[in-house]
Amino acid sequence: MKNTLLTLVFLMGSAVASLVAAPARPNVLFISVDDMNNDLGCYGSPIVKSPNIDKLAARGVKFERAYCQFPLCSPSRSSIMTGLRPDTTKVFNLQYHFRTGLPDVVTIPQLFMRAGYYAARVGKIYHYGNPGDIGTSGLDDPPSWREFYNPAGTDKTALEPEITNDTPSRGLGSAMSYLADAKGRDEDHTDGKVATQAIALLEKHKAEPFFLAVGFYRPHTPYVAPKKYFDLYPLEKIEVPRIPADYAKTVPAPALASTRPWPNFGTTHEQARRSKQAYYATISFVDAQIGRVVDALDRLGLRDNTIIVFWSDHGYSLGEHGLWMKQSCFEDSARVPMIFAGPGIKAGTPSPRLVEFVDVYPTLADLAGLKPPANLEGVSLRPLLTKPDAPWNRPAFTQVQRGDFPGHSVRTPRWRYTEWDGGKQGVELYDHDADPGEMKNVAADPRHAAVIAELKALVNKNWPVRVTGGVAEPGAKKAKREKRAK
């Protein structure tokens, strides 16, 4: 009997010790940037200086080929936060909120809050007009947060009158506009304030499980940053692609319709170079703010129990194809930087596999041991976070709207296929083995008929019902909106 009691006490003690030793639930630091493409040091840029994002890539898995579902702010952000594709959220513009049609949808932070996490937002996670809505909640989703903060710095409150706008018919939020000698310290600008507030929340909530979403506003136009960041990019080292005069004849008209007038919104080559210089300067500025937040996480001893996700809402064209900004189906616009780092994630090994934004939600739920909603439209990336080159056979889908008809694009390891209005407005096919810049449309080449048939079948499977008409913005309304600041 005595031995039995001793055995029972030992087993109970072991169970208690096991519970004490069990790892805490992982925190999530969810870092987003606005309009940042893959021109980063860790993605191979020979010119862009992004030391803090590069360090983050070295401590986690950098996805070489990650794709957004819709290269426009609100549709893309709604998709990643709900784990649903745009045809499910019905978000195709900057006005419609996903809860209008999906009032009970559970977002990523909601799932974590239901599991007892503290969830907060600092800055831009859902859509904000940038710079128009800085300092407000914009098109936020209040059920997603316990707390939220909307910083506004001197770039918004004092410096806007000094900004140069080389496309004066366009509002600052959709213009090629910049301020090369912005006054003030980093901490005085909006993104500096975002970092400062995020650090304060890390310090306050370090002892409890948290989901902290930190949304930076740069490098979104207007490209504003302190002068020291512009000094990193001498103008003589900045070049913008020169597009052949007859290039527009080689692709369907909707492919180039996101930039009007084409090319480069009608700016001169010199003006485009200055905008690109300013864009790169703002990348380095926001990189420094990301470094402040990640350094604070490490200083507070949270590194070993925090999953970090870094992402941009979409890519960004800088003169490729004569286009500027986003809303195209080309690689420059659809491809995004995305990095996962943290416990259980392999450090320093990039993944070459194709992944999508809709995969982020099920991945975070999987890593945290939470049961996600059954309707998510992506898959967990956990196999790639432990073995980045694990077998993977999933294409990536991206879409845009052109007035009342869509553009649908599918990316496979070798090919990109795009069709406009179900093919009625044209098709495109690009061979990334031979043409990574997507400058030669080979859709009309009969040698690729079988490839087109295969890729068209993927498009038809992903979009069995084509959304046209009333859901998309009418062309006149869209044109009017583009003149306002985003």
Query: Which pLDDT score is estimated for 183?
Result: 87
Query: Which pLDDT score is estimated for 466?
Result: 60
Domain assignment present for 465: no
Range of the domain at 236: 24-397
pTM equals 0.92
Those residues with Cβ within 8 angstroms of residue 105's Cβ, 6 or more apart along the chain or in another chain: 82, 84, 98, 99, 373
Domain assignment present for 110: yes
Domain assignment present for 425: no
Query: Which pLDDT score is estimated for 181?
Result: 84
Task: Provide the domain count of the chain.
Answer: 1
Domain assignment present for 53: yes
Backbone angles phi, psi at 384, to 5 degrees: -80, -20
Query: Which pLDDT score is estimated for 328?
Result: 98
Catalytic, out of 42, 68, 73, 329: 73
Whether 73 is catalytic is: yes
pLDDT at 372 over 60: yes
Domain assignment present for 426: no
Query: Which pLDDT score is estimated for 2?
Result: 39
Percent of the chain with pLDDT over 90: 89
What is the per-residue pLDDT across 219-255, written as a single tens digit (0 to 9) for each?
999 999 999 999 999 999 999 999 998 999 999 999 9
Query: Which pLDDT score is estimated for 465?
Result: 75
What is the per-residue pLDDT across 21-60, written as a single tens digit (0 to 9) for each?
334 699 999 999 999 999 999 999 999 999 999 999 999 9
Q: How many CB atoms lie within 10 A of CB 245?
A: 8
Query: Which pLDDT score is estimated for 3?
Result: 43
What is the per-residue pLDDT across 377-429, written as a single tens digit (0 to 9) for each?
999 999 999 999 999 999 999 999 999 999 999 999 999 999 999 999 999 99
User: What are 215's two structure tokens?
Assistant: 């949304």
Domain assignment present for 31: yes
Domain assignment present for 202: yes
The answer to whether 182 and 92 are in contact (CB under 8 A) is no
Whether 448 is catalytic is: no
Q: How far, in Å, CA of 139 to CA of 133, rounded?
A: 9
Confidence of residue 10 (pLDDT cuts 50, 70, 90): very low
User: 299: domain CATH number?
Assistant: 3.40.720.10
What is the per-residue pLDDT across 111-136, written as a single tens digit (0 to 9) for each?
999 999 999 999 999 999 999 999 99
Mean pLDDT over 74-79 rounds to 98
What is the per-residue pLDDT across 429-480, written as a single tens digit (0 to 9) for each?
999 999 999 999 999 999 999 999 999 999 999 999 765 433 433 333 443 4
Domain assignment present for 11: no
Confidence of residue 484 (pLDDT cuts 50, 70, 90): very low
The answer to whether 281 and 232 are in contact (CB under 8 A) is yes
Strand arrangement, sheet containing 27-34: 147-149, 118-123, 210-219, 27-34, 306-312, 335-341, 60-67, 351-356
Catalytic, out of 42, 127, 205, 329: 127
What is the per-residue pLDDT across 167-209, written as a single tens digit (0 to 9) for each?
999 999 999 999 998 889 999 999 999 999 999 999 999 999 9
In the chain the first and final C-alpha atoms are separated, in Å, by: 77
Confidence of residue 97 (pLDDT cuts 50, 70, 90): very high
